[in-house]
Amino acid sequence: MTGNIVTGAAEAGDTGTGAARAGYSADEIMTVTASRALRDRTTCFVGIGRPSEAANLARATHAPNLVLIYESGTIGAKPGWLPLSIGDGILAETADAVVSVPEIFNYWLQPGRIDVGFLGAAQIDRFANINTTVIGADYAEPKVRLPGAGGAPEIAGSCREVIVIVRQTRRTFVERVDFVTSVGFGDGPGSREYLGLTGAGPRKIITDLGVLEPDPATCELVLTAVYPGVSVPQVRERTGWDLQVSPGLAEIEPPSPSELAVLRGLLATMPAAGGAP
């Protein structure tokens, strides 16, 4: 997933992302990076939006045997275009099996039978706890009331590993989330075990600037890789805590022409792009 070790020049203050100059967008390299994190012959619990884009890109490129599982009960879906929702008919039409939502959660997810879960976040903190419930200290009268949990707490708790994909801003990357919707590493080492969570928790936080991963000892998120042209000061500027940087900080390989072609082809299937219905 990562390439060469970043040189001092990048850390010294190259504040451009380099994406536009290289012919791809920040969203495109984020999606491609997320797709590369998925391995062939594994199972992936997929959400709609960028997680679905990344998972379908992976299946169309390096992971043709990736098993896509959607919350609606479709197992092994092979959509010919990006689904509009978990209820899109193309998921059931192309699935190996369709089961009930209770079975997806009670039999597949909670016992740890799913390898990877994809999540987004409205807020995420230094221990990878996720908030998708409320913004503001008062739950009864928040500044913003968000869509809520859905299946995210079960995904965060029970998938063998979790990947979070989210744009990086100080509003999103906060010292402490206003509400813990989905537990990452709680208050630090030992929290997941204390709560009885069986999955390993978030393994990668993939943003529009690079990748953060939990430190094995402290469970705190550490910057481990950046995109071409992204500097460490730039990432720290968009983080609401004193972000630590891996000594082996790497530069992520840019999207290949073939990855971009497949991704853009998938995006062109969306109705707004005039593609598939």
What's the chain's average pLDDT?
91
Q: How far apart are CA 224 and CA 8, in angstroms?
A: 15
Q: What is the pLDDT of residue 274?
A: 53
Within 10 angstroms of residue 102's Cβ, the number of other Cβ atoms is: 9
Q: What is the pLDDT of residue 252?
A: 98
Percentage of residues in the chain having pLDDT higher than 70: 90
For residue 11, give both structure tokens: 């850390």
Secondary structure (DSSP) of 106-121: IIIITTT--SEEEE--
Considering the candidates 71, 154, 251, 253, report the single residue annotated as catalytic.
71
For residue 4, give every residue at least 6 positions away whose Cβ sits within 8 Å of its Cβ, in sequence order, or none. 250, 251
- Residue 165: name the closest of 273, 269, 44, 258 by CA: 44
- Residue 204: name the closest of 139, 247, 159, 256 by CA: 159
Q: How far apart are CA 44 and CA 115, in angstroms?
A: 6
pLDDT tens, residue by residue, 39-74: 999 999 998 889 999 999 999 999 999 999 999 999
Within 10 angstroms of residue 144's Cβ, the number of other Cβ atoms is: 10
- Whether the per-residue pLDDT at 253 is higher than 60: the answer is yes
The arithmetic mean of pLDDT across residues 103-120, rounded, is 95
Given this structure, which CATH class describes domain 2-266?
Answer: alpha beta
69 beta partners: 45, 75
- Whether the per-residue pLDDT at 14 is higher than 50: the answer is no
Q: Whole-model pTM?
A: 0.89
pLDDT tens, residue by residue, 68-96: 999 999 999 999 899 999 899 999 999 99
Q: How far apart are CA 154 and CA 151, in angstroms?
A: 6
- Whether the per-residue pLDDT at 273 is higher than 70: the answer is no
The arithmetic mean of pLDDT across residues 151-174, rounded, is 96
pLDDT tens, residue by residue, 178-228: 999 999 999 999 999 999 999 999 999 999 999 999 999 999 999 999 999
Domain locations in the chain?
A: 2-266
Residue 11 falls in the annotated catalytic set: no
Residue 15 banded pLDDT, cuts 50, 70, 90: very low
Q: What is the pLDDT of residue 48?
A: 86
